[in-house]
Amino acid sequence: MTKTAPRRSRARPVQDPSQDTALPAGKATINDIARLTGVSKKTVSRVINDSPLVHPETREKILALMKQLGYTPDPQARGLAFRRSFLIGMIYDNPTAQYIVNMQYGALDALRDSGYELVVHPCDSTQEDYIDSVRRFALQQKLHGVILIPRVSEDEQLAAALREIGVRYVRIASIPLDAGPQMVVTQDRQAGTEAANYLESLGHRTLGLITGPRRYRSTIERGGGFVEGLNERGVELPADYTYEGGYTFESGVAGAEYLLAKSPRPTAIFACNDEMAAGVYKAAMRRGLSIPGDLSVVGYDDSPLASQLWPALTTIHLPIRDLGRQAAQMLLSDEPAPDEAATSAPRLVTPQLVVRDSSQRPKG
């Protein structure tokens, strides 16, 4: 070892580092930095890891050389020594394309220049072994943490499995399912109630509801909040004016066809996402019903689709990109002390009603 070191420095002669073009960008190692600055690699390591135990001058000298050589520590080597990687996993189960992509953009916003990268991991939560497959993924990649998106974020067994193997996670969900630092809460119930208040205040008394699948927590919250909101204002939503959709366009069509055949016909429909609301448009068009003249429609998400529909859709704004950004940020931040963590409040995101052109007072 004591022999090879000098030999290497002769093989790659670097007298004046400022003149040096022999080291290709991104190929310098901690040993090069240590050798050229005349310190041990441990000291360089301290600078890499922001240790306060380095003399300011030494630190400056090292940082300057790193910058000059375009040195960045090798995440694999660092990871091997740390026994974990610099990868964040995003785990999800088939929401809409817009939802996934915006969530990814948000997470990447937070990860930019952090040295962490995003590894995507869609899965099928209806499969028996999906938890095991996520566990294997997290374990093998030694993930720094994972972001869980509905509906997998609502699965307590998944969360338990991740805790058991010591993998950090942040869950994005309708309600607080975990301690503060593990949660971004979208408060869907509140949004459902807001939709109800709005439509009731316009004068609607006969309403229809198209929910997501029963196994989604958001279905309980959005739908439940809507029904509650109506009840509080003295309007009842009969059980047969609710249709269980699948958060898909086609199920929105089917739901609207079911509801619009009712007598009395609802004058307003709340669809629990924009895709289904678009389906309601199609069904209404086919029946020759005009929106909002004959039927008011309110959606949920405020995806690009909402402003593309004609008339533009009144909907609940969900800041998806922001959710992704916050979740990733929480994974990067240092863990608070366990006792604080248990009691600290989760991040609350407040959904907002966006009134556009698909809703008005009912006729007559």
Partner DNA sequence: CTGAAAGCGCTTACAG
Q: Contact positions toward DNA, by CB under 7 A?
A: 1, 4, 29-31, 38-46, 48-49, 52-56, 58, 71, 73-74, 77-78, 80-83
Name the minimum Å distance from CB 39 to DNA: 4
Considering only 60, 74, 232, 236, the residue that binds a second copy (CB under 8 A) is 74
Q: What is the dihedral of CA 265, 271, 274, 279, to 10 degrees?
A: -40
Q: Give the footprint of a second copy on residues 181-210 (CB under 8 A).
A: none
Shortest CA distance to 211 belongs to which of 174, 184, 241? 241
User: Which residues have CB under 8 Å from 156's CB, separation 6+?
Assistant: 177
Q: What is the dihedral of CA 105, 107, 108, 111, to 10 degrees?
A: 170
The region of 15-23, 53-61, 98-106, 212-220 touching a second copy under the rule CB under 8 A is 98-106
Question: What length is written for the chain?
Answer: 364
The pattern of x and - marking residues 128 through 147 that bind a second copy according to CB under 8 A reads --------xx-xxxx-----
Nearer to a second copy by Cβ, of 60 and 117: the residue is 117
Residue 69 has which token pair? 């050589």
| Rounded Cα–Cα distance for residues 47 and 354 (Å) | 49
From the list DNA, a second copy, none, partner contacted by residue 122 (C-beta under 5 to 8 A by kind):
a second copy
Considering only 22, 64, 101, 342, the residue that binds a second copy (CB under 8 A) is 101
From the list a second copy, DNA, none, partner contacted by residue 87 (C-beta under 5 to 8 A by kind):
a second copy
The region of 57-65, 117-125, 202-210, 352-360 touching a second copy under the rule CB under 8 A is 117-125
From the list DNA, a second copy, none, partner contacted by residue 48 (C-beta under 5 to 8 A by kind):
DNA
Q: Is 79 in the site for a second copy (CB under 8 A)?
A: yes
| Rounded Cα–Cα distance for residues 295 and 280 (Å) | 10
The pattern of x and - marking residues 275 through 314 that bind a second copy according to CB under 8 A reads ---xx--x--xx-----------------x---x-x----
Q: Is 108 in the site for a second copy (CB under 8 A)?
A: yes
Nearer to DNA by Cβ, of 77 and 345: the residue is 77
291 sits in the region (left: phi over 0; alpha: psi -120 to 50; else beta) called beta
Please report, as ranges, the residues that interact with a second copy according to CB under 8 A: 25-26, 72, 74-77, 79-80, 85, 87, 97-98, 100-102, 104-105, 108, 117-122, 136-137, 139-142, 165, 249, 278-279, 282, 285-286, 304, 308, 310
